[in-house]
């Protein structure tokens, strides 16, 4: 008898009406509500009903484009515009109780002090369920919103040129510095800094509040944070990677990495590259937990799923960096368990159509995985870090403060 699989981590990536460009046209879609709190609250509650580890919320500084490296495509037949991901997470936090909330926040044009404050606030708001999906920006139109720098942009056919490699190295170096600054700011208030002692006329212990005095190639930040230490100490830091530099970034400062394999052998090869990146940067502590991204379209039969995908593609074809799977919940469960055997820790699923395919994940896929012993039957750990087996770290400044 084969051993039962270990339990998978399962996340969902939320973006507009879904990851298929024609999703907003579907009968079950809610295009009139995409920019409402009710829509996002309903999605978050559904994901939590499915006991998912976390949800991520897409964001960027430019309008959507079919090519994420390019200028906006100015199409009017696709969803354009989105709400601010961090603010979406903030307003659904009190409406949920257990699911992790991980907004996308771009490092390229955002001051890390602002990022640290916003995400620490989200962690307080959610009582320890916040995370940060780190993202960089290579688009010239996004740089033009701020006027502080010029980014030449990248063309896919020129990604292997010295100029492109230099730009990628610069942007990912900046992102690594941003993560370091944010993590130091989260530590700048030790645990127990707030005393709230009326008799002693003392609200906080000044000796437990620290300047971080960070000076790097991209930022100079004195600190401390204005927000007390997050409940998790360090909210979960995640990123999406497609190659060596993104893997190195995650290895330097992340907790969880999303990757995009297209089959089981590809997943094994990517995992080898990720571990090599960890060795290259001298990562200490827990290894990165690696989740595979998959675009999913689920139906009662394989034929129905493929027909639905074909119908959507006939209107506006879907292309993706991640594998696209039109299948049944049972067949998808078999695939997830099989790919897990090469060392994946779990999956981030991108529903092709919202809320249709999110409902299918929760009501179809999750029970199938539970029957295989591959997914939880209830939430146990109250914090997002705890759900990934990560201890709550002490502030790096605690010894110095003592």
Q: What percent of the chain has pLDDT over 70?
A: 96
CB 288 within 8 A of CB 274: yes
Residue 84 main-chain phi, psi, to 5 deg: -65, 125
CB 237 within 8 A of CB 254: yes
128: left (phi over 0), alpha (psi -120 to 50) or beta: left
Which stretches of 341-393 are DSSP H helices? Answer: 356-360, 366-371, 384-387
Rounded-to-integer distance, Cα 268 and Cα 290, Å: 11
CB 231 within 8 A of CB 127: yes
* pTM score above 0.75: yes
pLDDT at 50 over 70: yes
What pLDDT was estimated at residue 149?
86
CB 296 within 8 A of CB 351: yes
As a whole number, mean pLDDT of residues 226-249 equals: 97
pLDDT level of residue 69 (50, 70, 90 thresholds): low
As a whole number, mean pLDDT of residues 211-218 equals: 95
Nearest to 130 by CA among 40, 232, 44: 232
Any idea which of 34-48, 178-192, 196-210 has the lowest mean pLDDT? 196-210
pLDDT level of residue 6 (50, 70, 90 thresholds): confident
For tokens 């139109």, name the residue: 141
Q: Which fold has domain 10-137+232-401?
A: TIM Barrel (3.20.20)
């Amino acid at each position: 008898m084969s051993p039962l699989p270990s339990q998978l981590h399962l996340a969902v990536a939320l973006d507009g009406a879904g990851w298929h460009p024609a999703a907003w046209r579907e009968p079950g879609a809610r295009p009139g509500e995409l920019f409402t709190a009710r829509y996002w609250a309903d999605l978050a509650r559904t994901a939590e009903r499915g006991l998912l580890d976390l949800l991520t919320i897409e964001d960027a500084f430019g309008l959507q484009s079919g090519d994420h490296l390019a200028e906006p495509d100015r199409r009017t037949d696709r969803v354009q515009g989105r709400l601010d991901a961090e603010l979406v997470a903030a307003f659904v936090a009190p409406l949920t109780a257990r699911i992790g909330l991980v907004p996308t926040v771009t490092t390229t044009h955002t001051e890390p002090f602002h990022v640290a404050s916003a995400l620490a606030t989200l962690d307080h708001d959610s009582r320890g369920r916040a995370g940060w999906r780190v993202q960089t920006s290579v688009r010239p139109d996004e740089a033009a919103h701020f006027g502080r720098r010029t980014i030449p942009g990248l063309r896919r056919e020129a990604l292997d040129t010295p100029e492109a490699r230099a730009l990628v190295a610069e942007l990912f170096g900046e992102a690594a510095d941003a993560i370091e600054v944010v993590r130091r700011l989260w530590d700048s208030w030790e645990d127990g800094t707030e005393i709230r002692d009326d008799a002693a006329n003392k609200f906080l212990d000044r000796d437990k509040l620290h300047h971080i005095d960070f000076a790097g190639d991209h930022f100079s930040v004195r600190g401390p944070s204005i927000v007390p230490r997050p409940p998790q100490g360090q909210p979960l830091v995640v990123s999406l990677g497609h190659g060596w530099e993104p893997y190195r970034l995650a290895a330097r400062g992340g907790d969880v990495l999303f990757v995009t394999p297209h089959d089981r052998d590809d997943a094994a090869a990517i995992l080898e590259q990720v571990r090599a990146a960890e060795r290259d940067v001298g990562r200490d502590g827990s290894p990165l937990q690696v989740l595979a991204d998959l675009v999913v379209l689920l139906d009662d039969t394989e034929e129905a799923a493929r027909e639905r995908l074909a119908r959507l593609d006939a209107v506006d074809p879907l292309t993706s960096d991640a594998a696209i799977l039109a299948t049944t919940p049972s067949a998808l469960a078999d695939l997830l368990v099989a790919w897990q055997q090469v060392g994946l820790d779990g999956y981030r699923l991108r529903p092709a159509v919202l809320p249709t395919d999110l409902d299918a994940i929760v009501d179809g896929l999750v029970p199938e995985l539970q029957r295989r012993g591959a997914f939880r039957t209830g939430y146990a750990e109250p914090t997002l870090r705890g759900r990934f087996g990560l201890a709550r770290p002490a502030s790096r400044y605690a010894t110095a403060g003592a």
